[in-house]
């Protein structure tokens, strides 16, 4: 086997492993571990933090959703942290609270989502800090489910389950999240999750970390808390829903922005430093995070090596045709139809967003502030 063939099969094998082989390996290892069960305990006091920037269209519904959660009223406070909103976010949040003493609205200067969350935490009184996006609606029992794992004193972070609702099925984000949630459940069973999501998660107040404002809680909290001796777990019964952004192109821009905030944590924030990781968690980090984020570059290597191998054997013609077919289907897809073409388009755009986010960060750095993408 020539050096070019080794490069091609190594790149192709790593792509296949991170997307399919790794979940299969997790499934096999999970059979050796019992399913988690949380000890019964009293419900702790919770401060639910909602960071918002220019969310006037959804913030009132979100505040009402938070107040309708099935949770003892005296143990819940809701803090809306408006990060320099230029619209009526603050006004509508206060109007939705209707004088309820459980709700506080902070009208902050624009410093970015992480700093808005930090300001809310400084004002919070609960021993458990829960966080949600302004456009995420929680199931009525979601908060109880989210805090239940904290009865185990080793657990410092819990993320819930996010479902995307697309009435016409044209956005493939929901398929990705079903896959991602399944992987998180397996990771949680074996060691700890490698990332959460901004729609629904919680952390012990004593474990809260002030992060680099360019990064996010979603990626940085789990691995940093694991390093400090905590476990970070997934609770599927803590359910939230969001509407996806209107098009895959907007989803690409959103993921690109998210990855420009993720790369500082990956390359400069210690994610890849194995110190403090147990062997299972190191396997998760390098399989689910390092290799996943390297996927666009592995694809380029595999494609370039495949071009160099054309004419060597029939298998290389077949693999080249397969790669070109995926790209052609992605280009041909419109609004996700037909479904297979839509999946190809989603995969290509979301994979490209990883590299685009790295390019943005390398070229001009990453600002602490962010802009929201429009929804349907």
Residue 227 reports pLDDT greater than 90: yes
Looking at residue 233, which CATH number applies to its domain? 3.90.550.10
Residue 376 reports pLDDT greater than 50: no
The arithmetic mean of pLDDT across residues 85-100, rounded, is 94
What's the rounded Cα separation, in Å, for the pair 215 and 270? 12
Q: Would residue 315 count as lying in a domain?
A: no
Q: Which residues are CB-neighbours of 366 under 8 A, at least 6 positions away?
A: 214, 260, 261, 263, 264, 360
Q: Would residue 303 count as lying in a domain?
A: no
Q: Would residue 107 count as lying in a domain?
A: yes
State the pLDDT at residue 38. Answer: 78
Cis peptide upstream of residue 338 (ω within 30 degrees of 0): yes
Band of the pLDDT at 94, cuts 50, 70, 90?
Answer: very high
What's the rounded Cα separation, in Å, for the pair 274 and 267? 13
What's the rounded Cα separation, in Å, for the pair 342 and 350? 12
Cα distances from 294 to residues 5, 15, 354, in angstroms, run 20, 9, 8
What's the rounded Cα separation, in Å, for the pair 70 and 358? 41
Q: Among 176, 174, 175, 222, which residue's Cα sits nearest to residue 196?
A: 222
Cα distances from 209 to residues 52, 165, 212, 220, in angstroms, run 20, 32, 10, 9
State the pLDDT at residue 334. Answer: 67
CB atoms inside a 10 Å sphere around CB 362 = 12
Name the average pLDDT for the chain: 91
Band of the pLDDT at 372, cuts 50, 70, 90?
Answer: low
State the pLDDT at residue 169. Answer: 45
Which tens digit of pLDDT belongs to each residue from 206-220?
999 999 888 889 999
What's the rounded Cα separation, in Å, for the pair 161 and 146? 10
Residue 232 reports pLDDT greater than 50: yes
Q: Would residue 283 count as lying in a domain?
A: no
Domain containing 102: what range? 46-245
Q: Would residue 327 count as lying in a domain?
A: no
State the pLDDT at residue 163. Answer: 87
Q: Would residue 341 count as lying in a domain?
A: no
State the pLDDT at residue 97. Answer: 93
Residue 337 reports pLDDT greater than 70: no
Total-model pTM: 0.90
The arithmetic mean of pLDDT across residues 20-43, rounded, is 87
- Total number of domains constituting the chain: 1
Q: Among 373, 372, 374, which residue's Cα sits nearest to residue 51?
A: 372
In the three-class reduction of DSSP (H, G, I as helix; E, B as strand; rest coil), residue 208 is classed as coil
Residue 196 reports pLDDT greater than 80: yes
Contact 240, 142 (CB under 8 A): yes
């Amino acid at each position: 086997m020539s050096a070019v063939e080794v490069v091609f099969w190594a790149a192709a094998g790593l792509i296949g492993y991170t997307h399919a082989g790794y979940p299969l390996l997790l499934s096999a290892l999970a059979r050796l571990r019992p399913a988690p069960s949380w000890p019964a305990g009293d419900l702790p006091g919770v401060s639910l933090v909602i960071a918002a920037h220019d969310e006037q269209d959804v913030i009132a519904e979100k505040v009402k959703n938070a107040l309708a959660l099935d949770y003892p009223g005296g143990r819940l406070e809701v803090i809306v942290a408006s990060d320099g909103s230029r619209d009526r976010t603050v006004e509508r949040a206060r109007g939705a609270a209707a004088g309820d003493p459980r709700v506080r609205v902070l009208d902050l200067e624009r410093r970015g989502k992480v700093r808005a969350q930090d300001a809310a935490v400084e004002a919070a009184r609960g021993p458990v800090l829960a966080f949600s996006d302004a456009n995420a609606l929680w199931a009525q029992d979601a908060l109880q489910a989210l805090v239940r794992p904290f009865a185990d004193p080793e657990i410092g972070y819990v993320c819930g389950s996010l479902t995307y609702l697309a009435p016409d099925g044209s956005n493939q984000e929901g398929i990705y999240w079903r896959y991602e949630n399944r992987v998180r459940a397996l990771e949680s069973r074996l060691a700890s999750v490698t990332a959460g999501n901004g729609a629904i998660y919680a952390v012990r107040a004593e474990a809260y970390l002030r992060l680099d404002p360019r990064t996010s809680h979603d990626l940085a909290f789990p691995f940093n808390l694991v390093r400090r001796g905590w476990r970070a777990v997934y609770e599927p019964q803590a359910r939230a829903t969001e509407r996806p952004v209107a098009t895959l192109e907007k989803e690409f821009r959103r993921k690109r922005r998210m990855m420009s905030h993720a790369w500082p944590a990956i390359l400069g924030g210690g994610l890849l430093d194995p110190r403090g990781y147990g062997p299972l968690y190191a396997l998760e980090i390098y399989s689910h995070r390092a290799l996943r984020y390297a996927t666009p570059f592995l694809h380029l290597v595999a494609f370039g090596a495949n071009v160099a191998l054309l004419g060597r054997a029939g298998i290389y013609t077949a693999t080249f045709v397969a790669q070109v077919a995926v790209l052609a289907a992605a280009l041909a897809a419109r609004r996700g139809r037909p479904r297979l073409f839509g999946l190809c388009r989603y995969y290509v755009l979301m994979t490209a967003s990883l590299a685009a986010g790295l390019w943005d960060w390398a070229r001009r750095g990453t600002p602490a502030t962010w802009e929201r993408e429009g929804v349907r």
